Amino acid sequence: MKITTKELTQISIFAALTFVSGFISIPVGPVPITMQTLLVLLTGLFLRPRGAFLAQTLHLLLKLLLGGFQSFLSPSFGFVFGFIAGATVISYIVHKSDGSILSYTWAALVGSIVIYAIGLPYMTVILNVFMGNQFGILDIFKMGMLLFIPGDVAKVLLAVALSNRLKGRVRAFQ
């Protein structure tokens, strides 16, 4: 399938916004609190699955381009891989759903779980294998997920509210 100029523009905008939102950061351990997750959720809610996948893949490439190869050794880099899968899953669920707020919320929650499912094991490998720590599963869960759940719930609600408010205008994007 060919990518239209419109799709390419949307993909680029969501990739750039996700990248820039990473600079809004609160350090709280090996993984900082950022606004990236909100943009990943919005990517999945607004773009088609292929566009969501490409936008977050472009975001990953931007991270590597500006951060270098050592970015792979960051405990939080696994979440960037999770963003690709999460945004794609969200988009797939949304585009197969009835378009209700409940389906958007479900999609965003499932996408958030996908992000954790990829990010936490990666974080474990980096912290324990490459950095020589001996963190247990509970420690990893606390550092990489428990701290973030309240903010992620708020981001899900904000992303769903924004997408519901804008879907009449932004659905024209698709």
φ, ψ at 33 (rounded to 5°)? -80, 125
Q: What is the mean pLDDT of residues 148-162?
A: 96
> How far is residue 110's CA from residue 23's CA, in Å, rounded to a whole number?
25
Q: What is the mean pLDDT of residues 106-116?
A: 98
Question: For the chain, how many helices (H) and strands (E)?
Answer: 7, 2
Q: Among 14-18, 115-119, 165-169, whose mean pLDDT is lowest?
A: 165-169
* pLDDT at 84 > cutoff 60: yes
Q: What is the mean pLDDT of residues 62-89?
A: 95
More confident residue, 99 or 21: 21
Q: Where are the alpha helices (DSSP H) in 68-125?
A: 77-95, 101-125
Provide the pLDDT confidence category of residue 172 given band limits of 50, 70 and 90.
Answer: very low
Q: What is the mean pLDDT of residues 49-54?
A: 98
Residue in 19, 117, 11 with CA at minimum distance from that of residue 61: 19
Q: What is the mean pLDDT of residues 67-94?
A: 96
SS (H, E, C) 53-77: HHHHHHHHHHHHHHHCHHHHHCCCH
* pLDDT at 168 > cutoff 80: no
Whole-model pTM? 0.93
The fraction of the chain above a pLDDT of 90, given in percent, is 84
Distances (CA, A) of 101 to 75, 111, 116: 34, 15, 23
Q: Which fold has domain 5-165?
A: Arp2/3 complex 21 kDa subunit ARPC3 (1.10.1760)
> How far is residue 161's CA from residue 159's CA, in Å, rounded to a whole number?
5
In this prediction, residue 167 carries a pLDDT of: 76
In this prediction, residue 34 carries a pLDDT of: 93
